[in-house]
Amino acid sequence: MRRFEFVPFEEVLRIAKMPENHLDFHLSNLLKKKLVETWVGPYKGFALTEAGYDSLAFHALVKQNVLEAIGPSVGVGKECTCVDQLSELRWFAVPSV
């Protein structure tokens, strides 16, 4: 969200359009997987982590039929890990770590 560093829970609830107990369940799963982080101050807020952004990008590539599957690590550098991926073009996917 552009207006928040940490999006307030009420805003996430409004955008998600699901019952509060379902949203709590999904957010707790995302927190366990370290895809989002939480902040408690004047309000309770959530933000995507780098792993969360990577997962979101992979999901978008799968939905667009650009990527079918991720294979084993091919190489590890200072700023990224190269992994083999399955698609019609046989390119490499390079997520940041």
Whole-model pTM: value is 0.72
Structure tokens at 25: 């369940």
Tally of domains in the chain: 2
Residues 40 and 64 in one domain: no
Residues 44 and 55 in one domain: no
Determine contact, residues 40/59, Cβ cutoff 8 Å.
no
Q: Is 66 a domain residue?
A: yes
37-76 pLDDT, tens digit each: 999 999 999 999 988 998 898 889 888 887 777 777 777 7
Q: Is 68 a domain residue?
A: yes
d(CA 32, CA 37): 9
Residues 58 and 26 in one domain: no
pLDDT of amino acid 23:
94
Higher pLDDT, 10 or 70: 10
d(CA 5, CA 19): 24
Structure tokens at 22: 């379902």
Residues 41 and 71 in one domain: no
Residues 58 and 85 in one domain: yes
From the CB of residue 91, how many other CB atoms can be counted at a distance below 10 Å? 11
Residues 15 and 36 in one domain: yes
Residues 86 and 55 in one domain: yes
- As a whole number, mean pLDDT of residues 1-18 equals 88
Residues 76 and 61 in one domain: yes
Three-state DSSP at 92 gives strand
Q: Is 1 a domain residue?
A: no
Domain that holds residue 83: 51-93
Structure tokens at 84: 């083999």
75-93 pLDDT, tens digit each: 777 777 777 666 665 555 5
Pairing of strands 36-40, 69-76: unpaired
- As a whole number, mean pLDDT of residues 19-32 equals 95
Structure tokens at 34: 């370290």
pLDDT of amino acid 97:
46
